[in-house]
């Protein structure tokens, strides 16, 4: 949809009768008569009224009638006051910014000119007003495929045994990757075929249809995520920002793994934050899913850190062990087991004995045997809980004896 501002013209009119006695000189300056507030038909609450002072507003106008237009909202107007049955009239244009004010003519007409015009003691003053009111309207923007549907397609996106027809110029306009591909002497530019192997046919067709503005079939989360990945690969940025608003991409237990993997892989930080918040509230339903266990361990480590404000890999180790996220425990233990360092030795030893990690216990004991002087001189080693220190020394001793 496109929003456009129009200026709508609304016309209104009203007449008032002036009594001849009003010009007798008996009414004081500033004596005001006024019509009721009149509705401007077809508007949202615009009202207007006529004010008139038979003896003028001040002593300077005491021999004149003063006429004014008043409105209740800011608006631009053109207006005219005329005496019925005469040539007397005055017109004006005014943009009201303070609707409590009235605008008009302090010396509209003298009593001397008006008195001969009375018929049976009455004189009619007609007021006509045009109100110019801004109106916001939404217009349907023609879809891309409607705008150049008469132009034949000239390239195919080949996906497996299927292909998606498109226009080179259109793809170049929406994607800098396609623009570079088609503006150079590439295989794709010469063959008019782009082989796509990373995505399935339905996802590519849906992504292209979306960019062309065609109506889409109901989407599942997996297809929506693949559409986003397609747009990310080809830098179709505007489409990404809109597609991420899809309801099927709001994190849920059903789509969590698809959505969080996309957010992580494509650096969509806001969406990743939403996923982490959702995981914090629904971890027990999510961590048992087969797809969750198949997520990259580095991603799950990041989720755990963000969701539960964990600072170090050992914080994550303790949390993952306590909550049965074993593939993360294995992932974080593996580098410790392969190559223990002095920096990791003490926190690793604490974790190994507190959580009964036998293989890691063995590695810590061997590291102590290989680096005894360096380890025992370290302040962190001396600060180990006595039970942990006893177990490390005991295991180290037993391991050393077994190697003799």
Residue 258 lies in a domain: no
* Range 285-295 average pLDDT: 95
The DSSP code for 98 is S
Report pLDDT for 328: 97
CA angle, residues 1, 169, 175, in degrees to nearest 5: 70
In which band, very low, low, confident or very high, does the pLDDT at 25 lie, cut at 50, 70 and 90? confident
- Per-residue pLDDT at 161: 93
pLDDT at position 138: 79
Measured CA angle at 188 (ends 187, 192), to 5 deg: 120
Q: How confident is the model at residue 235 (pLDDT cuts 50, 70, 90)?
A: very high
Q: What percent of the chain has pLDDT over 90?
A: 87
Q: What is the mean pLDDT of residues 372-390?
A: 92
The string over 187-214, giving b where at least 16 C-beta atoms fall within 10 Å of a residue's C-beta and e elsewhere, is ebbeeeebebeebebbbbbbbbbbbbee
Segment 99-113, tens digit of pLDDT: 778 999 999 999 999
Dihedral angle computed from the Cα positions of residues 31, 33, 37 and 38, in that order, rounded to the nearest 10 degrees: -140
Pick from 141-155, 251-265, 305-319: least confident: 141-155
What's the CA gap between 323 and 315, in Å, rounded? 12
Q: In this structure, are residues 10 and 134 in contact, taking their beta carbons and an 8 Å threshold?
A: no
Q: Number of structural domains, the chain?
A: 2
Q: Is residue 37 part of a domain?
A: yes
- Structural domain includes residue 276: no
Instruction: Note whether residue 229 is domain-resident.
Output: no
d(CA 122, CA 177): 81
Picking from 139, 172, 203, the residue at the C-terminal end of a domain is 139
Ranking 91-100, 204-213, 268-277, 296-305 by mean pLDDT, the lowest is 91-100
pLDDT of residue 167: 95
69 in a structural domain: yes
Distance CA 122, CA 300 (A): 89
How many CA atoms are closer than 13 Å to the CA of 236, on its beta-carbon side?
Answer: 24
| Residue that finishes a domain, picked among 91, 119, 139 | 139
Q: pLDDT digits over 26-76, tens only?
A: 899 999 999 999 999 988 889 999 999 999 999 999 999 999 999 999 999
Question: Is pLDDT of 202 > 60?
Answer: yes
Q: Please tell me the predicted confidence (pLDDT) of residue 230.
A: 97
What pLDDT shows up at residue 146? 76
The HSE-up count of residue 7 (CA atoms within 13 Å, CB side) is 6
The percent of residues above 70 in pLDDT, for the chain, comes to: 99
Q: Of 114, 139, 164, which marks where a domain is finished?
A: 139
Window from 182-191, 214-223, 333-342 with minimum mean pLDDT? 214-223
CATH label of the domain that carries residue 131:
2.60.210.10
279 in a domain, yes or no?
no
Are the C-beta atoms of 284 and 256 separated by less than 8 Å?
no
What does the DSSP assignment read for 188-257?
HHHHTEEE--SS-HHHHHHHHHHHHTPPPPPPPHHHHHHHHHHHHHTT-HHHHHHHTT-GGGS--TTTHH
**From CA 175, how far away is CA 186, in angstroms rounded?**
16
Of 145-154, 174-183, 385-394, give the lowest mean pLDDT range: 145-154
User: What residue numbers bound the domain in which 116 lies?
Assistant: 2-139
Residue (of 185, 223, 218) closest to 207 by Cα position = 223
Paired sense of beta strands 122-139 and 155-159, if any: unpaired
Per residue in 96-151, pLDDT (tens digit) is: 998 778 999 999 999 999 999 999 999 999 999 999 998 887 777 777 777 887 88
Residue 144: per-residue pLDDT? 75
DSSP code for 59: G
Mean pLDDT (the chain, rounded)? 93
Q: Backbone phi, then psi, for 331, in 5-degree steps?
A: -60, -45
* Residue 315 lies inside a defined structural domain of this protein: no
- Domain membership of residue 370 (yes or no) is yes
């Amino acid at each position: 949809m496109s929003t456009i501002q129009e200026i709508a013209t609304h016309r209104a009119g009203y007449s008032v009768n002036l009594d001849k006695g009003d010009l007798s000189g008996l009414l004081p300056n500033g004596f005001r008569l006024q019509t009721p507030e009149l509705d401007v038909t077809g508007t949202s609450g615009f009202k207007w009224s006529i004010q008139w002072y038979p003896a003028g507003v001040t002593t300077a106008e005491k021999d004149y009638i003063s006429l004014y237009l008043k409105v209740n909202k800011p608006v631009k107007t053109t207006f005219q006051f005329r005496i019925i049955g005469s040539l007397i009239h005055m017109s004006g244009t005014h943009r009201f910014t303070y609707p409590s004010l009235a605008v008009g003519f302090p010396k509209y007409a003298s009593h001397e000119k008006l008195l001969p015009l009375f018929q049976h003691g009455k004189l009619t003053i007609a007021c006509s007003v045009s109100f110019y009111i801004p109106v916001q309207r939404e217009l349907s923007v023609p879809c891309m495929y409607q705008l150049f549907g008469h132009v034949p397609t000239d390239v195919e996106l080949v996906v497996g045994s299927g292909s998606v027809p498109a226009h080179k110029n259109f793809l170049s306009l929406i994607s800098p990757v396609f623009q570079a591909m088609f503006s150079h002497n590439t295989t794709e530019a010469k063959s008019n075929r782009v082989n796509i192997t990373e995505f399935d046919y339905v996802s590519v067709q849906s992504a292209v249809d979306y960019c062309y503005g065609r109506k889409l079939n109901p989407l599942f989360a997996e297809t929506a995520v693949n559409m986003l990945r397609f747009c990310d690969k080809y830098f179709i940025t505007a489409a990404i920002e809109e597609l991420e608003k899809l309801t099927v991409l709001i994190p849920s237990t059903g789509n969590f793994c698809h959505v969080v993997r996309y957010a992580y892989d494509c650096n969509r930080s806001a969406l990743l934050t939403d996923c982490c918040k959702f995981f914090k509230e629904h971890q027990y339903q999510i961590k048992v899913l087969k797809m969750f266990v198949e997520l990259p361990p580095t991603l799950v480590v990041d989720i755990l850190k963000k969701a539960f404000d964990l600072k170090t890999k050992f914080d994550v180790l303790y949390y993952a062990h306590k909550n049965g996220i074993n593939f993360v425990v294995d992932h974080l233990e593996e580098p410790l087991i392969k190559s223990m360092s002095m920096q990791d030795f003490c926190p690793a030893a604490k974790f190994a004995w507190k959580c009964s990690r036998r293989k890691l216990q063995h590695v810590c004991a061997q590291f102590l045997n290989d680096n005894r002087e360096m380890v025992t001189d370290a302040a962190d080693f001396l600060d180990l809980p006595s039970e942990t220190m006893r177990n490390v020394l005991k295991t180290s001793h037993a391991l050393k004896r077994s190697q003799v």
